[in-house]
Structure 1
């Protein structure tokens, strides 16, 4: 069963995705979650606490999804490129609110210190996953993450989430990764 905290936080993620960071208020979250007025402030007393909660929840959801990815590779029988495309498409469609909110809040120069810590923990977790799964060093993992995130942000900004764009990018990206590995 999903906790009230998660209901509030998931609704807050949707508020940012639908109304932008400026639209994030306790009242807007209560309304979207169809909770009595004041429910969000009972969970997160301040807007900074709410933003920190959002960043923490995004990191938790990202980690859960990344933890399942190796099993998907092993069990699906699909080629790595297809699973990578599926993963990106998921973040750009099904989990668009989470991805959009993660990007928007990550770019906010007024992000509370605790939220910055949660953001850094999330990015570190993604980079560590790439290091383990891709069997690459920390620097290459960071570059891979930056490259894939950049492509996804470009798709998000264009409003396309076009599978053929993602497939072409992944094909070129995996060739680049193989070329780098061959040079090492």
Structure 2
């Protein structure tokens, strides 16, 4: 992604996290990016183009965040990755939820979101296969569902008090099972 589009997409992620989908406007992104008025609409003429660029940027960022789960404590490594997403990556997480809801009304956004989800699933399946776990496709579905549920519950504060890293690790261990 060219540098200016990356800057705009990063500002769109921050805008979605702070103001939700309704707050995502070209003008708001210009402001968040510190760009002159009209810059975002110059590069991304429509709201759909802005949304698509944001989904593309999220996928790019997510690809660099898949943890190495080949160590002695794979559930611990994945728990660490989830804790990072809930803290340092919180804006991305909230933006992804906003975009997922938007995609329920704008089917043209779905393919990019589905592709990102498929990459995560495939990474889980490969990792589980490497651990010698049986039924890797089914188990990868379960791990992904647990991860997505944990992230949503923690990001939206539907559980009080929040789960600790150790509670997240234990939940993952139950789903992963013993290799």
TM-score range, shorter chain: 0.7 to 0.9
What secondary structure sits across from 1:107 in the alignment? helix
Does the 8 A contact of 1:92 with 1:99 survive in 2? Answer: yes
Does the 8 A contact of 1:93 with 1:161 survive in 2? Answer: no
2:93 maps to: 99
Structure 2 counterpart of 1:127, from 109, 121, 137: 121
CA drift of 1:79 comes to 2.9
Instruction: Describe the superposition over 1:69-98 as per-residue Cα deviations: whole angstroms up to 9, x where unpaired.
Output: 22x755xxx732332221001111101111
1:7 maps to: 7
What secondary structure sits across from 1:158 in the alignment? coil
Going from structure 1 to structure 2, the CA distance change for 1:45 and 1:106 (only over 3 Å counts) comes to: same
Going from structure 1 to structure 2, the CA distance change for 1:161 and 1:83 (only over 3 Å counts) comes to: farther
Going from structure 1 to structure 2, the CA distance change for 1:11 and 1:162 (only over 3 Å counts) comes to: farther
Unaligned runs of 5+ in 2: 130-134
1:41 maps to: 41
CA drift of 1:159 comes to 7.3
TM-score (norm 2): 0.86
Instruction: Describe the superposition over 1:124-166 as per-residue Cα deviations: whole angstroms up to 9, x where unpaired.
Output: 1110110111225323212211111101110111178977534
Going from structure 1 to structure 2, the CA distance change for 1:17 and 1:126 (only over 3 Å counts) comes to: same
Instruction: Describe the superposition over 1:27-62 as per-residue Cα deviations: whole angstroms up to 9, x where unpaired.
Output: 000001000111111221100111111111111111
Alpha-carbon separation, structure 2, partners of 1:144 and 1:81: 10
Q: Residues 1-184 of structure 1: matches in 2 within 5 Å? A: 3-66=3-66, 69-70=67-68, 74=71, 79-108=73-102, 109-113=104-108, 115-135=109-129, 137-158=136-157, 164-178=163-177
The CA RMSD over aligned residues, in Å, is 2.3
TM-score (norm 1): 0.84
Does the 8 A contact of 2:9 with 2:57 survive in 1? Answer: yes
